[in-house]
Amino acid sequence: MDWTAEAIDQLRSLWAEGHSTAEIGRRMGISKNAVVGKAHRLNLPARPSPIRREAEGSAAPRPAPVRRAAVPPPPREPAPLRRLAQPNAAPAAPAPAAVVRPFPRVAARSCCWPLGEPGTPEFRFCSAEAMTSKPYCAEHASVAYVRVRDRREDAA
């Protein structure tokens, strides 16, 4: 936008009247951001925040917050003591550990294609010989690596 002397005078007068930047923009037929930018470049006085203006302009002042007496937190229970092993007592059975299966590798270069539902006993990986520089056997590589067709081939 080209700011003419008349447009700057109109901006200054609307600004002095206290209109919002959006309202000034509507009246002048320009964007709110154009108004804000030009007001900043003209060093016009800053607008008070509408949030602060409403809070300061309210007729009844807010009462001071009521102070409550500090209540100490309830005492913490001490941590349970661990018992030392009795020399004549049988040792307690250890808690069952989670079953962790190692990543199955049948051969040094076996196919990594998953078969079955993960987390079930039937889950496994294909054990066929993997292709050179690929993690899958030839059958699974043909499924995993699909060549992208050119869109021009579809149009023909």
Helix (H) / strand (E) containing 39: helix 32-41
Model pTM score = 0.34
pLDDT band at 1 (very low <50, low <70, confident <90, very high): confident
Instruction: Report CA-CA distances (Å) from 3 to 17, 93, 134.
Output: 20, 86, 65
- If one compares 153 and 3, the residue with the highest pLDDT of the two is 3
Contacts of 39 by beta carbon, 8 Å cutoff, 6+ apart:
11, 15, 21
Taking residues 93-103, what's their average pLDDT?
Answer: 63
Domain ranges of the chain: 5-55, 101-156
DSSP-assigned letter for residue 83: P
CB contact set of 27 (below 8 Å; sequence gap of 6+): 14, 19
- Report, as an integer, the average pLDDT of 12-38: 92
Using one digit for the tens of pLDDT, what is the confidence trace for 27-85? Answer: 999 999 999 999 999 999 887 766 665 545 555 666 666 666 677 777 777 777 666 66
